[in-house]
Amino acid sequence: MNGEFSSLVPFFGFFAILLFVIGLYCVVMSRNFIRVLIGLEILTKGVTLLIIAAGYLTGKVALAQTLAITLIVLEVVVVAVAAGIVIAVYRRNNSLDVTQLRKLKG
């Protein structure tokens, strides 16, 4: 661990937790599908930053980078599928309101 960067790890942890809380708030409190997707992106960026900071803190940077890259790939897949669902819901309902999903019948 480098001496000059070891003092920055608590700041990375703080900002990672802050990003996680902001993303979680956006996912829980928003009624618009696009805002929910943006909140999900912010949430996963916080998790990625926390994984990198934890890997640097423990000295296992390679493992942390591997986990972060895997998380980024999974995040892209989830957002692509969710964007497809958002487009289908908008075509069906002409709205992006989450509360209108209760009206859908399978």
**Which has the higher per-residue pLDDT, 12 or 1?**
12
**pLDDT tens digit sequence for 41-79:** 999 999 999 999 889 888 899 999 999 999 999 999 999
Q: What is the pLDDT of residue 100?
A: 79
Confidence of residue 103 (pLDDT cuts 50, 70, 90): confident
What is the 8-class DSSP label of residue 98?
A: G
SS3 49: helix
Domain count, the chain: 1
Confidence of residue 5 (pLDDT cuts 50, 70, 90): low
SS3 60: coil
Tokens of 6: 């070891």
The answer to whether position 12 is within a domain reads yes
Above 70 in pLDDT, residue 37? yes
The answer to whether position 102 is within a domain reads no
Q: What is the pLDDT of residue 95?
A: 87
Taking all residues of the chain, what is their mean pLDDT, rounded to a whole number? 89
Segments forming the whole domain that contains residue 24? 3-94
- CATH number of the domain enclosing 14: 1.10.287.3510
Sign of the CA dihedral 57, 61, 65, 71? negative
**Which has the higher per-residue pLDDT, 7 or 91?**
91
Question: Which residues lie closer than 8 Å to 74 by C-beta, 6 or more apart?
Answer: none
The answer to whether position 70 is within a domain reads yes
Q: What is the pLDDT of residue 35?
A: 94
